[in-house]
Amino acid sequence: MTDSPDGPASTPQSVHSATRALDRAATALIALMLAASAVVYRALPPVLATHWGADGTGNGWTPRLPAVLLLPGLAIVLWLVLRAAPAIDPRKARYAQFAGTYRTVAILPLALLAGVHGIILAAGLGYHLPVARLAVLGVGALLLVLGNVLPRVRPNYFVGIRTPWTLASDAVWARTHRVGGYLLAGAGVVTLAAGLLGGPYVLPAAVASATAAALATVCYSYAAWRREAAHAVTRPRPRP
């Protein structure tokens, strides 16, 4: 097996090790979410805000018990899906080439869910939080980290930039993930800056930067595939 960004000795054992690390991190995050819910449960009001408008005012409400169990339950389901993905992916052998990176990518959404769960509990306890800014900062941090690890993701069917063109060519996959990593990291910086500066354009700036990065990455994958196809057509064939 060839060397990979996650180490020169990437083997099936590295996938097993990364899965165990994911299990430990996921278990710790989910246990923390459930423990926090149990500790503050009696102090929470009968109904909790679980959705907020751009101004940070709650505009969606959920009864107390479903509210404290919703995100931990979602985290459990997401953890199980992410844990199973390497085993059921037709390209399962590729995961050994980016096992550590896959672990990082899998933990990111679980950490984000834990953060949102903490915001719900804190708001229920009466703390006045800048919910919109905190959410934008969380997403910005996620995009920044994801952009930095994205170039190390190898072709598979579950994580990464999976367009028809990246899945059709490993070379297009590699180029797209390198460019997409820069674009997502840039979107993360813009999103973090918007969250830190605040103001009425926090959410529009965050959404616009993330959307622009995603669209540009998809367009680049198509352009890279077209260039590769054109090069294959014009490449001189060896004489028999």
Which of 159, 175, 155 lies closest to 222 in space, CA to CA? Answer: 175
pLDDT surpasses 70 at 4? no
What is the pLDDT at residue 8? 44
pLDDT of 11 higher than 80: no
On whether the pTM is more than 0.85, the answer is no
* 198 contact partners, CB below 8 Å, separation of at least 6: 130, 133
**What pLDDT is recorded for position 1?**
33
Average pLDDT of the residues of the chain = 88
In DSSP terms, which residues pair with 61 in a beta bridge?
A: 49
User: Per-residue pLDDT tens for 17-43?
Assistant: 777 888 899 999 999 999 999 999 999
| Per-residue model confidence (pLDDT) at position 198 | 79
% of residues, the chain, pLDDT over 90: 67
- pLDDT of 94: 92
Residues 6+ apart with CB under 8 A from 174: 151
Q: Is the pLDDT of residue 2 over 90?
A: no
Residue 9 binned pLDDT confidence (cut-offs 50, 70, 90): very low
pLDDT in tens, 143-159: 999 999 999 999 999 99
pLDDT digit string (tens) for 60-98? Answer: 899 999 999 999 999 999 999 998 999 899 998 999 999
Question: What does the pLDDT read at residue 226?
Answer: 94
